[in-house]
Chains A and B, each alone.
Chain A
Amino acid sequence: VRRREFIAGLGGAAASWPLAVQAQQPALPIIGWLNLGSSEIGVHDALYQGLNEQGYFEGRNVEILHQRAAMQFDRLPGLAAYLVRRQVSVIVAAGGGTPTALAAKSATTTIPIVFAIGTDPVDVGLVARLNRPGGNVTGVTFLAQSLIAKRLELLHEVLQAAKSIAFLVDPINYHPDAEIRAAQNAADALAVRLVILEASTPGEIEAAFTRLKEQRIDALATDSSAVFSFQGAQLATLAARHAVPAIYPIRSTVEAGGLMSYGGNSTDAFRLVGTYAGRILKGEKPAELPVQQTTRIEMAVNLKTAKALGLEVPTSILLRADEVIE
């Protein structure tokens, strides 16, 4: 991907060198990228793609200053403050969801912030309205949180015999209350018992699985906390070990061995973040850029995992699945 960009950059440079000369100011504009993880993951390429679509290429006409919290949420405010001190042109809060975006928002009211989250940005207080955000913050939401009911329905459809479903939430880094309420409503509609399990660290996740097993809970769903997004592999492994059918918000967990996922397409979301960052660099105001929602909702099913769990995935599910891993 980098090589392609590089070549594309060369082409662009050759075609528009007078512009490039004009843009070659002593300091290139800097995008500060605040990320909860310790490295980029596959979907992050989409962000570069979005920047490229807007004519920005890292190292040529824009610099990207990475600040990674290595899964330590308490480091986010400090990293955000650092980006503010560096007076970056735009802060991209992408990777780490809502806590990353909130940390950035608390650090500055002037530097534009573009987020990528799975929650409702109005509910968590990032923007006043989706249509006209009004402040220095805008971004993309990829419909993770609001889909919990649908997820429980789908999970129940796969495992119709399930009497109880564990809802693993992260109370420290995430505010799962709304999601818990939605999950509870859905569980009531499905007539299953919802057991709330809390975990905010890998160790706690492991402990939660122990409790889940102790309490003989039939299935598992997680909230949209970034912890669970980043710990997809651990979740998949633990679920397999404990033979628990589970549904997750993002597809990457299914690719790591999770049973199924249902949620907005995060690749689309990161690409849109990239285009918004580019447009802000060109001078557009975040207050006037509406919060976008990814419209593509995708369902992934890992038949290998299902088979290992001894599950037969019903046709209605397979009909709906956008991706089936066999």
Chain B
Amino acid sequence: MTDRSKTFKELVQAGGWRQINGPLFRKYVALLLAVIFVVLLTSGSLNGLLEIGFAYQQHKVSLVRIQREQAEAAAAKIGQFINEMESQLGWTTQLPWSTGTVDQRRFDGSRVLRQVPAITELAQLDATGKEQLRQSKLAMDVQNSQIDFSHEAKFAEAVAKKVYYGPVYIRRGSEPYMTLSVAGLRRDAGVSVAEVNLKLVWDAISQIKVGENGQAYVVDNQGRLIAHPDISLVLGNTDMTGLAQVRAARAAGAGAPTEPVQIGKDLRGRDVLAVYAPVAPLGWLVFAELPVDEAYAPLYQALERSGALLLAGLVLAFLAALFLARRMVVPIQTIRAGAARIGSGDLTQRISIRTGDELEALAEQFNRMAEQLQDSYAGLERKVEERTHQLALANLAKSRFLAAASHDLRQPMHALGLFVAQLHSHITSPDGSRVVNRIDEALTGMNELFNALLDITKLDAGVLTPTIGEFPIAELLGRIGSTFTPVAQEKGLSFRSVPSSAWVRSDPVLLERIVLNLVSNAVRYTAVGGIVVGCRYRKDHVRIEVWDSGPGIPPDQQRKIFGEFYRLADAAKTNRAGLGIGLAIVDRLCALLGHPIELTSTLGRGSRFGVTVPTAPARAAEQPKIEPPPQDAIDVARGKLVVVIDNDVRVLEGMGGLFRTWGCRVVTATTPEAALADVSEFGAAARPDLVISDFHLGDGQTGITAIAKLREAHGAIPAFVMSGDIALERLREAQENGHHLLHKPVQPMTLRAMVSRMLKSEHK
């Protein structure tokens, strides 16, 4: 239970009430409600309603019966009242006027007046209709008035029918009266005429209790109210013929059939059940009326009770439905939510339901499924990891191989270059020179090819991470200029570098490589004319442009030239064909640095490559030294003491031979210590003019430490580093220590240019 409630709470907290209160929940509630309601209705309430109906009918019948009995009793009472008056009056008409005294008659009259309060006045007429005695409660008695009433109905009718009931009349505007005449059995006994106050009939009527608010009343044969519990209505001389039940009853008296029970309205306009009974001798009608509301009251009460029970049942049913539906829906929702979370990838999710039924089993299935998913997912991840690891290892192996291959290949190639350079001075025959030149060219191509191959391998391996900095572009252009001016001159081309004071934001090494490749390409493919390198400003960018007067690139090939190993068809014919990956490297480097590269080319007129580089705010910096081409390099080098340190003896031999051909004095050593010792052989005052060291010297020594050792012994000697290791770290390390670094294999021309630059700066 706590488990479920917790789950429920969680659902609510996660906006779950909406979830619980979903269509399924509502459906269940409605269904359960309907079922419970139908059961309630059929088992209890319908039965109850039927019983109410029967009970009401019974109640009504008994009410009507009581009413009728009451009306009949009242009618009987009134009849008895009249009869009693008749018999009382009878006492006064027993003896003929010829016998007895007036006093006797007076006594009789007085007794009647006292015994019958309703009789206000009593007149005794003799057999001829003459009034002999009149006694009154209100006025003085009159004796022997001899007024002749023989022609009046109260005498004539009484004589004819022994008794006469006069019409009801109103005295003093408010008192209902009736004349009642009784004739003696003997004709000479005369007639007694009584004025009867009918208000006293009210006593009989007012004692009739019809239900709580019902009442009885009497109407005379004119339809006039003569007795009513509300005496004021009687005094008000109310005409009752307006009431439907009175009309119907009077019609029935006249012979028309009628229903025993009338439903009509009483004087106050209430709906009533009316029954009536006639007062036989008088033609009066006694009505008993019960308000319909009251007759229905037990029905209403029963209905209310049933309604209340039904309502209570409904409320209970609703609560039960809610409870049951929640019991059913909450686990389902829990499963749903859990499944949703599993579906969204949270495989650690488990569904906790303790209902002990199919739902719990379902939840268990989900949990098992999630577990299996989790297991297989974990296995997959492990495999991916393993594979990635293997790949990484393979990559590492490849990198190691490349590094090793690069270093191990560079040393002999470097040495080869040096030997070929020396060969020039030994071959004097024109044929021999031609062969050596061919060897030289082949070697240069091989070098370039080799460098490019390694570069693109590194780029593709993604091991290059640019180090972005801000630097003046002039330095870069300067180096390009000094590198390519001699090469261009050799090919009979002009080379011009337009000075620029712009600062750019890029990786200096990689950007230089881009420009180098572009210029190198331009020099390679341009047969006549020249190359111009310069900068063009664009808002916050600068575009480094390389113009050539080469053959141009056809528009359909302009995109392709950035692909690997792509060469223009014509270029293949030239003797200095490259591998065709220079521009591929440029393209990759530009992508790496985020520098857009563009190409404009006109076939037969030349091409322009542009690399757009973001500018940086100019800072005070040393003016780029535009170095003049080393025309007098050999002269500068002549007689200078050059120290070459390398742990490869072939390189030492090659370098030593080359420098000697340039007229230098050379010390070659495998360690800085040996170099120092050799230098001292030239004399105590001997001081090296230039130190060139390989980067990796073995025994933990590097070119940088070697240079440092020599400088320690001989002061600030110009020096630079050469390395077969093309890793960028080497270059950066060297630069950080203020050394230039040349990558092996170094072409003799490049070497010469570097040497003369070093020596000249020293010279100054």
Contacts and interface: CB of A to CB of B under 8 A. Distances in A.
Given A315-B107, A316-B107, A322-B114, A292 B140 contact: no
B113 interface: yes
Given A150-B139, A322-B114, A295 B232 contact: no
B256 to A, nearest CB: 34
Contacts of B235: 130-131, 290, 292
A150 B236 contact: no
A66 B351 CA distance: 85
A319 B110 contact: yes
Contacts of A186: 140
Given A146-B138, A290-B235, A320 B175 contact: no
A147 B236 contact: no
Contact of A293 (B106, B114, B139, B175): B175
Contact of B111 (A129, A143, A319): A319
26 contacts: A129-B173, A130-B172, A130-B173, A147-B138, A149-B140, A150-B138, A153-B141, A289-B232, A290-B232, A290-B235, A290-B236, A292-B232, A292-B235, A293-B172, A293-B174, A295-B117, A295-B197, A296-B117, A297-B137, A297-B138, A315-B107, A316-B107, A316-B110, A320-B110, A320-B114, A321-B114
Interface in B262-281: none
B175 A150 contact: no
B158 to A, nearest CB: 24
When A and B form their complex, which 5 residue pairs have the shortest distance between CB atoms, in order from nearest? A290-B235, A319-B110, A130-B174, A153-B140, A131-B173
Contacts of A288: 232, 236
A132 interface: yes
Interface residues of B, number: 28
Interface in A287-325: 288-293, 295-297, 315-316, 319-322
B237 interface: yes
A131 B137 CA distance: 22
Nearest to B202: A295
Contacts of A316: 103, 106-107, 110
Interface in A131-178: 131-132, 143, 146-147, 149-150, 152-153
Interface residues of A, number: 29
Given A150-B136, A186-B140, A190-B140, 14 more contacts: A129-B173, A130-B174, A131-B235, A150-B139, A152-B140, A189-B140, A288-B232, A291-B174, A292-B174, A295-B117, A295-B118, A295-B199, A297-B137, A319-B111
Main secondary structure of the interface of B (DSSP, over half): mixed
A315 B110 CA distance: 10
Contacts of A132: 236
Contacts of A131: 173-174, 235-237
Contacts of B138: 143, 146-147, 150, 297
Contacts of A150: 136-140
A146 B141 CA distance: 14
B200 interface: yes
Contacts of B237: 131
Contacts of A147: 138
Interface in A240-295: 288-293, 295
A320 B113 contact: yes
B316 interface: no
A143 B139 CA distance: 12
B61 interface: no
B315 interface: no
A315 B111 CA distance: 10
B231 interface: yes
Interface in B155-190: 172-175
B139 A149 contact: yes
Contacts of A319: 107, 110-111, 114
Contacts of B141: 153
Contacts of A153: 140-141
Nearest to B170: A131
Interface string A29-56: 0000000000000000000000000000
A295 B175 contact: yes
A160 to B, nearest CB: 13
A75 to B, nearest CB: 32
Interface in B194-250: 197, 199-200, 231-232, 235-237
A286 to B, nearest CB: 11
